[in-house]
Amino acid sequence: MTDHRPRRPSRPRGTRPPRHRGGPARPPVEDPARSAALETLRAVRDRDAYANLALPALLKQRRISGRDAALATELTYGACRAQGLLDAVIGECSARPLDGIDPELLDALRLGAYQLLRTRIPAHAAVASTVDIVRAESGSRQAGFANAVLRRISERDEQEWIDRLAPARDDDPVGHLALRYAHPRWIAQSFADALGSVGAELEAALAADDARPAVHLTARPGEISAEELAAITGGDEAPYSPYGVHLDSGAGDPGDLEPVREGFASVQDEGSQLVAVALSRVEVQGPDLRWLDLCAGPGGKANLLGSLVTMDGGTLDAVEQAPHRADLVRRSTDGLSVEVHVADGRDPGLEPGYDRVLVDAPCTGLGALRRRPEARWRRRPDDVAELAKLQRELLLSAVRLTREGGVVAYVVCSPHLSETEGVVSDVVRRAGVEQLDARPYFPGVPDLGDGPAVQLWPHRHGTDAMFCALLRV
Ligand SMILES: C[S@@+](CC[C@H](N)C(=O)[O-])C[C@H]1O[C@@H](n2cnc3c(N)ncnc32)[C@H](O)[C@@H]1O
Protein backbone atom coordinates (compact mmCIF):
# COMPACT_ATOMS: atom_id res chain seq x y z
CA MET A 1 0.00 0.00 0.00
CA THR A 2 1.28 3.38 -0.95
CA ASP A 3 1.21 6.07 1.68
CA HIS A 4 0.01 9.18 -0.14
CA ARG A 5 1.05 11.81 2.36
CA PRO A 6 4.56 13.19 2.19
CA ARG A 7 6.14 12.30 5.48
CA ARG A 8 8.79 14.01 7.46
CA PRO A 9 11.74 11.71 7.84
CA SER A 10 12.37 10.40 11.36
CA ARG A 11 14.26 12.87 13.48
CA PRO A 12 17.87 11.75 13.93
CA ARG A 13 18.55 10.56 17.46
CA GLY A 14 20.39 12.96 19.68
CA THR A 15 18.81 16.08 18.19
CA ARG A 16 16.22 16.68 20.84
CA PRO A 17 15.23 20.25 21.61
CA PRO A 18 17.17 21.98 24.35
CA ARG A 19 15.65 22.30 27.80
CA HIS A 20 14.09 25.65 28.53
CA ARG A 21 14.55 27.34 31.83
CA GLY A 22 11.59 28.94 33.61
CA GLY A 23 12.03 32.67 34.24
CA PRO A 24 9.75 35.69 34.12
CA ALA A 25 7.19 36.40 31.37
CA ARG A 26 8.71 38.07 28.32
CA PRO A 27 7.29 40.74 26.03
CA PRO A 28 5.13 39.47 23.08
CA VAL A 29 7.10 37.45 20.51
CA GLU A 30 7.55 38.58 16.92
CA ASP A 31 6.31 35.53 15.09
CA PRO A 32 3.57 36.70 12.74
CA ALA A 33 2.94 33.29 11.12
CA ARG A 34 2.53 31.33 14.35
CA SER A 35 0.59 34.15 16.04
CA ALA A 36 -1.88 34.25 13.14
CA ALA A 37 -2.17 30.47 13.16
CA LEU A 38 -2.81 30.40 16.89
CA GLU A 39 -5.37 33.17 16.75
CA THR A 40 -7.22 31.31 13.99
CA LEU A 41 -7.20 28.03 15.93
CA ARG A 42 -8.76 29.93 18.82
CA ALA A 43 -11.42 31.52 16.61
CA VAL A 44 -12.29 28.06 15.26
CA ARG A 45 -12.64 26.59 18.75
CA ASP A 46 -14.21 29.56 20.47
CA ARG A 47 -16.46 31.14 17.85
CA ASP A 48 -17.07 28.21 15.48
CA ALA A 49 -15.19 30.20 12.81
CA TYR A 50 -14.24 28.54 9.52
CA ALA A 51 -10.46 28.40 9.30
CA ASN A 52 -10.46 28.95 5.53
CA LEU A 53 -12.38 32.23 5.96
CA ALA A 54 -10.88 33.45 9.24
CA LEU A 55 -7.22 32.96 8.34
CA PRO A 56 -7.15 34.76 4.95
CA ALA A 57 -9.00 37.71 6.56
CA LEU A 58 -6.44 37.86 9.38
CA LEU A 59 -3.50 37.61 6.98
CA LYS A 60 -4.92 40.47 4.92
CA GLN A 61 -5.64 42.60 7.99
CA ARG A 62 -2.09 42.11 9.33
CA ARG A 63 -0.50 42.38 5.90
CA ILE A 64 1.16 38.99 6.30
CA SER A 65 2.30 37.63 2.95
CA GLY A 66 4.90 35.45 1.25
CA ARG A 67 6.63 32.81 3.35
CA ASP A 68 4.94 33.88 6.59
CA ALA A 69 1.48 33.57 4.99
CA ALA A 70 2.39 30.15 3.57
CA LEU A 71 3.64 28.97 6.97
CA ALA A 72 0.57 30.31 8.79
CA THR A 73 -1.67 28.52 6.29
CA GLU A 74 0.17 25.22 6.56
CA LEU A 75 0.17 25.31 10.36
CA THR A 76 -3.45 26.40 10.75
CA TYR A 77 -5.05 24.04 8.26
CA GLY A 78 -2.74 21.20 9.23
CA ALA A 79 -3.41 21.54 12.96
CA CYS A 80 -7.17 21.77 12.35
CA ARG A 81 -7.19 18.64 10.20
CA ALA A 82 -4.97 16.61 12.51
CA GLN A 83 -6.67 17.64 15.76
CA GLY A 84 -7.76 14.14 16.84
CA LEU A 85 -4.30 12.69 16.31
CA LEU A 86 -2.62 15.68 18.00
CA ASP A 87 -4.94 15.42 21.00
CA ALA A 88 -4.26 11.71 21.38
CA VAL A 89 -0.51 12.38 21.47
CA ILE A 90 -0.79 15.45 23.73
CA GLY A 91 -3.01 13.46 26.12
CA GLU A 92 -0.37 10.73 26.29
CA CYS A 93 2.39 13.24 27.06
CA SER A 94 0.57 15.42 29.55
CA ALA A 95 0.43 14.90 33.30
CA ARG A 96 -3.00 16.60 33.20
CA PRO A 97 -6.00 15.09 31.36
CA LEU A 98 -6.82 16.90 28.11
CA ASP A 99 -9.97 18.50 29.52
CA GLY A 100 -7.95 19.80 32.46
CA ILE A 101 -5.72 21.88 30.14
CA ASP A 102 -6.70 25.50 29.65
CA PRO A 103 -8.26 25.62 26.12
CA GLU A 104 -5.98 28.49 24.99
CA LEU A 105 -2.94 26.53 26.11
CA LEU A 106 -4.25 23.43 24.36
CA ASP A 107 -4.47 25.40 21.10
CA ALA A 108 -0.79 26.31 21.48
CA LEU A 109 0.12 22.70 22.25
CA ARG A 110 -1.73 21.56 19.12
CA LEU A 111 0.23 24.08 17.08
CA GLY A 112 3.51 22.85 18.54
CA ALA A 113 2.58 19.17 18.24
CA TYR A 114 1.60 19.64 14.59
CA GLN A 115 5.01 21.15 13.81
CA LEU A 116 6.75 18.27 15.57
CA LEU A 117 4.74 15.47 14.00
CA ARG A 118 3.85 16.64 10.52
CA THR A 119 6.32 19.27 9.31
CA ARG A 120 10.01 19.49 8.61
CA ILE A 121 10.47 22.33 11.09
CA PRO A 122 13.38 21.31 13.34
CA ALA A 123 12.18 20.06 16.73
CA HIS A 124 14.07 22.70 18.72
CA ALA A 125 12.44 25.49 16.67
CA ALA A 126 8.97 23.91 16.97
CA VAL A 127 9.29 23.63 20.76
CA ALA A 128 11.05 26.96 21.39
CA SER A 129 8.66 29.01 19.22
CA THR A 130 5.61 27.51 20.94
CA VAL A 131 7.05 27.86 24.44
CA ASP A 132 7.98 31.47 23.72
CA ILE A 133 4.40 32.29 22.73
CA VAL A 134 3.00 30.55 25.81
CA ARG A 135 5.49 32.34 28.08
CA ALA A 136 4.66 35.73 26.58
CA GLU A 137 0.92 35.11 26.97
CA SER A 138 0.66 33.16 30.19
CA GLY A 139 3.94 33.30 32.09
CA SER A 140 6.62 30.83 33.05
CA ARG A 141 4.54 28.19 34.82
CA GLN A 142 2.43 27.45 31.73
CA ALA A 143 5.56 27.76 29.58
CA GLY A 144 7.24 25.11 31.70
CA PHE A 145 4.25 22.79 31.28
CA ALA A 146 4.18 23.36 27.47
CA ASN A 147 7.90 22.73 27.29
CA ALA A 148 7.58 19.43 29.16
CA VAL A 149 4.70 18.17 26.99
CA LEU A 150 6.32 19.16 23.70
CA ARG A 151 9.67 17.68 24.67
CA ARG A 152 7.97 14.36 25.38
CA ILE A 153 6.16 14.54 22.03
CA SER A 154 9.47 15.20 20.29
CA GLU A 155 10.86 11.90 21.57
CA ARG A 156 8.95 9.99 18.86
CA ASP A 157 7.96 10.77 15.28
CA GLU A 158 4.42 10.50 13.94
CA GLN A 159 4.74 6.89 12.87
CA GLU A 160 6.08 5.84 16.26
CA TRP A 161 3.22 7.59 18.04
CA ILE A 162 0.67 5.91 15.78
CA ASP A 163 2.25 2.52 16.43
CA ARG A 164 1.97 3.21 20.13
CA LEU A 165 -1.52 4.74 20.32
CA ALA A 166 -3.61 3.29 17.46
CA PRO A 167 -5.49 0.00 17.82
CA ALA A 168 -3.73 -2.87 16.01
CA ARG A 169 -4.62 -2.86 12.34
CA ASP A 170 -5.54 -6.55 12.30
CA ASP A 171 -7.92 -6.21 15.24
CA ASP A 172 -9.56 -2.91 14.34
CA PRO A 173 -8.65 -1.73 10.83
CA VAL A 174 -11.10 1.22 10.82
CA GLY A 175 -9.95 2.45 14.25
CA HIS A 176 -6.32 2.11 13.21
CA LEU A 177 -6.72 4.02 9.95
CA ALA A 178 -8.95 6.65 11.60
CA LEU A 179 -6.16 7.62 14.01
CA ARG A 180 -3.41 7.33 11.43
CA TYR A 181 -5.17 9.68 9.00
CA ALA A 182 -6.72 11.87 11.69
CA HIS A 183 -10.41 11.21 11.07
CA PRO A 184 -13.12 10.64 13.68
CA ARG A 185 -13.88 6.94 13.75
CA TRP A 186 -17.53 7.33 12.68
CA ILE A 187 -16.45 9.19 9.54
CA ALA A 188 -13.81 6.59 8.67
CA GLN A 189 -16.52 3.93 9.18
CA SER A 190 -18.89 5.79 6.82
CA PHE A 191 -16.16 5.86 4.14
CA ALA A 192 -15.57 2.12 4.70
CA ASP A 193 -19.31 1.42 4.31
CA ALA A 194 -19.53 3.41 1.07
CA LEU A 195 -16.37 1.88 -0.41
CA GLY A 196 -17.03 -1.66 0.85
CA SER A 197 -13.41 -1.69 2.03
CA VAL A 198 -11.56 -1.65 5.33
CA GLY A 199 -8.24 -2.26 3.58
CA ALA A 200 -6.13 -0.61 0.91
CA GLU A 201 -8.91 1.44 -0.67
CA LEU A 202 -10.12 2.83 2.65
CA GLU A 203 -6.54 3.80 3.45
CA ALA A 204 -6.16 5.55 0.08
CA ALA A 205 -9.44 7.42 0.62
CA LEU A 206 -8.51 8.63 4.12
CA ALA A 207 -4.99 9.57 3.00
CA ALA A 208 -6.30 11.62 0.06
CA ASP A 209 -8.81 13.26 2.38
CA ASP A 210 -6.01 14.23 4.75
CA ALA A 211 -3.91 15.96 2.07
CA ARG A 212 -4.05 19.56 0.91
CA PRO A 213 -6.22 19.71 -2.22
CA ALA A 214 -5.53 21.66 -5.41
CA VAL A 215 -7.73 24.70 -6.05
CA HIS A 216 -10.21 24.10 -8.89
CA LEU A 217 -11.72 26.85 -11.03
CA THR A 218 -14.72 26.87 -13.36
CA ALA A 219 -14.45 28.84 -16.57
CA ARG A 220 -17.87 30.44 -17.06
CA PRO A 221 -19.36 28.86 -20.21
CA GLY A 222 -19.85 31.39 -22.98
CA GLU A 223 -17.30 33.81 -21.44
CA ILE A 224 -13.97 32.04 -21.43
CA SER A 225 -12.71 28.55 -22.27
CA ALA A 226 -10.87 26.29 -19.83
CA GLU A 227 -7.86 26.47 -22.14
CA GLU A 228 -7.81 30.28 -21.99
CA LEU A 229 -8.35 30.28 -18.23
CA ALA A 230 -5.49 27.81 -17.73
CA ALA A 231 -3.21 29.99 -19.85
CA ILE A 232 -4.09 33.16 -17.91
CA THR A 233 -3.81 31.61 -14.44
CA GLY A 234 -0.86 29.31 -15.08
CA GLY A 235 -3.02 26.33 -14.12
CA ASP A 236 -3.79 23.07 -15.92
CA GLU A 237 -6.97 22.12 -17.72
CA ALA A 238 -8.96 19.70 -15.54
CA PRO A 239 -8.94 16.06 -16.59
CA TYR A 240 -12.74 15.55 -16.75
CA SER A 241 -14.75 18.78 -16.60
CA PRO A 242 -14.87 20.71 -19.88
CA TYR A 243 -14.93 23.92 -17.83
CA GLY A 244 -12.36 23.06 -15.17
CA VAL A 245 -8.87 24.32 -14.37
CA HIS A 246 -6.63 23.06 -11.55
CA LEU A 247 -4.24 25.38 -9.72
CA ASP A 248 -1.40 24.35 -7.47
CA SER A 249 -2.50 24.24 -3.79
CA GLY A 250 0.12 26.82 -2.83
CA ALA A 251 -0.88 29.27 -5.57
CA GLY A 252 -2.09 32.05 -3.24
CA ASP A 253 -5.61 33.44 -2.87
CA PRO A 254 -7.57 32.50 -6.03
CA GLY A 255 -9.94 35.39 -5.29
CA ASP A 256 -7.11 37.72 -6.37
CA LEU A 257 -6.96 36.24 -9.89
CA GLU A 258 -8.21 38.66 -12.50
CA PRO A 259 -10.70 36.27 -14.22
CA VAL A 260 -12.20 35.46 -10.80
CA ARG A 261 -12.42 39.14 -9.82
CA GLU A 262 -14.08 39.96 -13.14
CA GLY A 263 -16.62 37.11 -12.92
CA PHE A 264 -15.32 35.00 -15.82
CA ALA A 265 -14.25 32.23 -13.49
CA SER A 266 -15.11 30.99 -10.03
CA VAL A 267 -13.62 28.68 -7.44
CA GLN A 268 -15.45 25.34 -7.62
CA ASP A 269 -14.38 21.75 -7.09
CA GLU A 270 -14.25 19.73 -10.31
CA GLY A 271 -16.70 17.20 -8.82
CA SER A 272 -19.28 19.98 -8.36
CA GLN A 273 -18.81 20.94 -11.98
CA LEU A 274 -19.23 17.35 -13.14
CA VAL A 275 -22.54 16.75 -11.36
CA ALA A 276 -24.05 19.99 -12.70
CA VAL A 277 -22.83 19.19 -16.22
CA ALA A 278 -24.23 15.63 -15.92
CA LEU A 279 -27.72 17.06 -15.27
CA SER A 280 -27.41 19.25 -18.38
CA ARG A 281 -26.38 16.24 -20.52
CA VAL A 282 -29.37 13.95 -19.92
CA GLU A 283 -31.64 13.68 -23.00
CA VAL A 284 -34.99 15.41 -22.48
CA GLN A 285 -37.77 15.19 -25.10
CA GLY A 286 -39.68 18.38 -25.97
CA PRO A 287 -39.17 21.85 -24.50
CA ASP A 288 -36.07 22.33 -22.40
CA LEU A 289 -35.96 25.96 -21.32
CA ARG A 290 -37.15 25.93 -17.68
CA TRP A 291 -34.51 24.80 -15.22
CA LEU A 292 -34.60 24.91 -11.41
CA ASP A 293 -31.90 24.84 -8.72
CA LEU A 294 -33.74 24.05 -5.47
CA CYS A 295 -30.85 24.62 -2.99
CA ALA A 296 -28.77 27.22 -4.74
CA GLY A 297 -26.64 29.06 -2.17
CA PRO A 298 -23.91 30.23 -2.53
CA GLY A 299 -24.46 29.77 -6.25
CA GLY A 300 -21.60 27.71 -7.69
CA LYS A 301 -23.79 25.27 -9.61
CA ALA A 302 -26.40 27.96 -10.35
CA ASN A 303 -23.63 29.90 -12.10
CA LEU A 304 -22.73 26.90 -14.27
CA LEU A 305 -26.31 25.78 -15.01
CA GLY A 306 -27.44 29.39 -15.45
CA SER A 307 -24.70 29.98 -18.04
CA LEU A 308 -25.67 26.85 -19.99
CA VAL A 309 -29.42 27.55 -20.01
CA THR A 310 -28.87 31.24 -20.83
CA MET A 311 -26.86 30.26 -23.92
CA ASP A 312 -29.85 28.12 -25.01
CA GLY A 313 -32.32 30.99 -24.45
CA GLY A 314 -33.89 29.50 -21.32
CA THR A 315 -34.06 30.50 -17.65
CA LEU A 316 -33.00 29.11 -14.29
CA ASP A 317 -34.99 29.64 -11.10
CA ALA A 318 -32.66 29.47 -8.10
CA VAL A 319 -34.23 28.80 -4.69
CA GLU A 320 -32.35 29.42 -1.45
CA GLN A 321 -33.76 29.53 2.05
CA ALA A 322 -31.12 31.72 3.71
CA PRO A 323 -31.41 35.37 2.57
CA HIS A 324 -27.67 36.11 2.87
CA ARG A 325 -26.86 33.04 0.77
CA ALA A 326 -29.50 34.08 -1.77
CA ASP A 327 -27.52 37.34 -2.10
CA LEU A 328 -24.43 35.29 -2.92
CA VAL A 329 -26.41 33.46 -5.63
CA ARG A 330 -27.46 36.82 -7.11
CA ARG A 331 -23.83 37.88 -7.18
CA SER A 332 -22.54 34.66 -8.73
CA THR A 333 -25.22 34.60 -11.45
CA ASP A 334 -25.00 38.28 -12.33
CA GLY A 335 -25.75 38.86 -16.03
CA LEU A 336 -27.43 35.46 -16.54
CA SER A 337 -31.10 34.54 -17.05
CA VAL A 338 -31.41 33.50 -13.44
CA GLU A 339 -34.13 34.51 -11.01
CA VAL A 340 -33.34 34.05 -7.32
CA HIS A 341 -36.13 33.18 -4.85
CA VAL A 342 -35.74 33.22 -1.07
CA ALA A 343 -37.95 30.26 -0.14
CA ASP A 344 -38.07 26.82 1.40
CA GLY A 345 -37.36 24.31 -1.35
CA ARG A 346 -39.84 21.90 0.21
CA ASP A 347 -42.65 24.22 -0.84
CA PRO A 348 -41.19 27.16 -2.81
CA GLY A 349 -44.49 28.34 -4.32
CA LEU A 350 -43.21 28.04 -7.91
CA GLU A 351 -45.22 26.84 -10.90
CA PRO A 352 -44.45 23.12 -11.49
CA GLY A 353 -43.41 21.81 -14.91
CA TYR A 354 -39.60 22.24 -14.88
CA ASP A 355 -37.54 20.38 -17.49
CA ARG A 356 -34.43 19.93 -15.31
CA VAL A 357 -34.13 20.26 -11.55
CA LEU A 358 -31.06 20.16 -9.36
CA VAL A 359 -31.35 19.25 -5.67
CA ASP A 360 -27.90 19.96 -4.24
CA ALA A 361 -29.15 19.21 -0.77
CA PRO A 362 -27.76 20.47 2.54
CA CYS A 363 -25.62 17.59 3.85
CA THR A 364 -22.90 16.67 6.34
CA GLY A 365 -20.22 17.70 3.82
CA LEU A 366 -18.21 14.58 4.65
CA GLY A 367 -17.14 14.54 1.00
CA ALA A 368 -15.36 17.90 1.20
CA LEU A 369 -13.47 17.53 4.48
CA ARG A 370 -10.14 18.19 2.79
CA ARG A 371 -11.36 21.69 1.84
CA ARG A 372 -12.78 22.53 5.30
CA PRO A 373 -9.98 21.80 7.70
CA GLU A 374 -11.92 21.79 10.98
CA ALA A 375 -15.17 20.26 9.71
CA ARG A 376 -14.39 16.64 10.51
CA TRP A 377 -14.11 17.40 14.24
CA ARG A 378 -17.20 19.59 14.29
CA ARG A 379 -19.69 17.25 12.65
CA ARG A 380 -21.59 14.77 14.86
CA PRO A 381 -23.08 11.40 13.87
CA ASP A 382 -26.48 12.68 15.07
CA ASP A 383 -26.43 15.27 12.26
CA VAL A 384 -27.00 12.56 9.66
CA ALA A 385 -30.58 11.47 10.47
CA GLU A 386 -31.91 15.02 10.62
CA LEU A 387 -30.26 15.95 7.32
CA ALA A 388 -31.46 12.75 5.62
CA LYS A 389 -35.06 13.66 6.52
CA LEU A 390 -34.65 17.12 4.98
CA GLN A 391 -32.94 15.62 1.91
CA ARG A 392 -35.91 13.24 1.32
CA GLU A 393 -38.38 16.12 1.63
CA LEU A 394 -36.43 18.30 -0.80
CA LEU A 395 -36.07 15.49 -3.33
CA LEU A 396 -39.79 14.67 -3.16
CA SER A 397 -40.52 18.36 -3.71
CA ALA A 398 -38.19 18.40 -6.74
CA VAL A 399 -40.04 15.43 -8.25
CA ARG A 400 -43.37 17.25 -7.80
CA LEU A 401 -41.98 20.35 -9.53
CA THR A 402 -40.64 18.45 -12.56
CA ARG A 403 -42.76 17.77 -15.64
CA GLU A 404 -43.33 14.26 -16.93
CA GLY A 405 -40.24 13.28 -18.94
CA GLY A 406 -38.09 15.84 -17.13
CA VAL A 407 -35.04 14.96 -15.08
CA VAL A 408 -33.95 15.54 -11.47
CA ALA A 409 -30.36 15.37 -10.24
CA TYR A 410 -29.98 14.56 -6.54
CA VAL A 411 -26.55 15.65 -5.35
CA VAL A 412 -24.80 15.66 -1.99
CA CYS A 413 -21.21 16.32 -1.09
CA SER A 414 -21.04 13.23 1.08
CA PRO A 415 -20.46 9.52 0.62
CA HIS A 416 -22.48 8.63 3.76
CA LEU A 417 -24.93 5.92 2.65
CA SER A 418 -27.80 7.40 4.69
CA GLU A 419 -27.49 10.64 2.71
CA THR A 420 -26.91 8.98 -0.66
CA GLU A 421 -28.38 5.57 -1.52
CA GLY A 422 -30.74 5.64 1.47
CA VAL A 423 -32.46 8.87 0.38
CA VAL A 424 -32.61 7.94 -3.31
CA SER A 425 -33.99 4.42 -2.90
CA ASP A 426 -36.67 5.69 -0.54
CA VAL A 427 -37.78 8.50 -2.88
CA VAL A 428 -37.69 6.28 -5.98
CA ARG A 429 -40.01 3.85 -4.20
CA ARG A 430 -42.34 6.49 -2.78
CA ALA A 431 -42.58 8.70 -5.87
CA GLY A 432 -42.55 5.89 -8.47
CA VAL A 433 -39.83 7.56 -10.59
CA GLU A 434 -37.14 5.85 -12.66
CA GLN A 435 -33.50 6.02 -11.59
CA LEU A 436 -31.23 6.43 -14.62
CA ASP A 437 -27.75 5.01 -14.97
CA ALA A 438 -25.80 8.21 -14.30
CA ARG A 439 -22.43 6.88 -15.46
CA PRO A 440 -22.80 7.70 -19.19
CA TYR A 441 -23.23 11.37 -18.24
CA PHE A 442 -19.72 11.41 -16.77
CA PRO A 443 -17.86 10.58 -20.00
CA GLY A 444 -14.17 9.85 -19.62
CA VAL A 445 -14.35 9.59 -15.83
CA PRO A 446 -12.91 6.22 -14.73
CA ASP A 447 -13.80 3.97 -11.76
CA LEU A 448 -17.46 4.88 -11.47
CA GLY A 449 -18.44 1.56 -9.91
CA ASP A 450 -21.59 -0.46 -10.59
CA GLY A 451 -24.06 2.45 -10.86
CA PRO A 452 -26.75 3.52 -11.27
CA ALA A 453 -25.64 6.46 -9.10
CA VAL A 454 -22.16 7.98 -9.31
CA GLN A 455 -19.96 8.45 -6.26
CA LEU A 456 -16.82 10.49 -6.94
CA TRP A 457 -13.81 10.26 -4.59
CA PRO A 458 -10.67 12.31 -3.93
CA HIS A 459 -8.41 9.24 -4.18
CA ARG A 460 -9.97 8.04 -7.45
CA HIS A 461 -10.82 11.26 -9.24
CA GLY A 462 -9.03 14.10 -7.43
CA THR A 463 -12.47 15.63 -6.74
CA ASP A 464 -14.49 16.04 -3.59
CA ALA A 465 -16.59 12.95 -2.77
CA MET A 466 -19.72 14.15 -4.60
CA PHE A 467 -22.68 11.80 -5.04
CA CYS A 468 -25.08 12.14 -7.99
CA ALA A 469 -28.28 10.23 -8.76
CA LEU A 470 -30.38 11.05 -11.84
CA LEU A 471 -34.14 10.46 -11.77
CA ARG A 472 -36.54 10.50 -14.74
CA VAL A 473 -40.01 11.73 -13.75
C1 LIG B 1 -25.02 22.12 -0.43
S2 LIG B 1 -25.53 23.75 -0.37
C3 LIG B 1 -25.82 24.11 -2.06
C4 LIG B 1 -24.56 24.50 -2.80
C5 LIG B 1 -24.86 25.18 -4.11
N6 LIG B 1 -25.73 24.39 -4.96
C7 LIG B 1 -23.61 25.54 -4.88
O8 LIG B 1 -23.21 24.79 -5.79
O9 LIG B 1 -23.01 26.58 -4.57
C10 LIG B 1 -27.16 23.62 0.25
C11 LIG B 1 -27.90 24.94 0.35
O12 LIG B 1 -29.26 24.65 0.68
C13 LIG B 1 -29.73 25.68 1.53
N14 LIG B 1 -30.94 25.15 2.20
C15 LIG B 1 -31.03 24.49 3.38
N16 LIG B 1 -32.30 24.14 3.60
C17 LIG B 1 -33.02 24.56 2.55
C18 LIG B 1 -34.39 24.49 2.21
N19 LIG B 1 -35.28 23.90 3.01
N20 LIG B 1 -34.79 25.06 1.05
C21 LIG B 1 -33.90 25.66 0.24
N22 LIG B 1 -32.59 25.77 0.51
C23 LIG B 1 -32.16 25.21 1.66
C24 LIG B 1 -28.58 25.98 2.42
O25 LIG B 1 -28.73 27.28 2.98
C26 LIG B 1 -27.40 25.88 1.44
O27 LIG B 1 -27.14 27.13 0.89
Which residues in the chain land under pLDDT 70?
1-29, 249-251
The answer to whether ipTM exceeds 0.90 is yes
Identify the pLDDT of residue 250.
Answer: 65
* Residue whose CB lies within 8 A of the most ligand 1 atoms, among 216, 295, 394, 413, for a mutation test: 295
Measured N-to-C along each axis, helices 103-118 and 32-47 cross at an angle, to the nearest 10 degrees, of 130
Question: What does the pLDDT read at residue 27?
Answer: 52
Q: How far is the CA of 409 from the centre of ligand 1 (A)?
A: 14
* Minimum CA distance residue for ligand 1 atom 17: 321
pTM exceeds 0.80 for this model: yes
- pLDDT at 141 (0 to 100): 95
Q: From the CA of 319, give the closest atom in ligand 1.
A: 21
**Residues in binding site for S-adenosyl-L-methionine:** 295-301, 320, 344, 360
Buried b (16+ CB within 10 A) or exposed e, 126-164: bbbbbbbbbbbbbebebbbbbbbbbbebbebbbeebbee
Active site members:
413
| Residues 24, 21: Cα–Cα separation, whole Å | 10
Q: Is 462 left (phi over 0), alpha (psi -120 to 50) or beta?
A: left
Does any ligand 1 atom lie closer than 6 A to the CB of residue 345?
Answer: yes
pLDDT score, position 251: 64
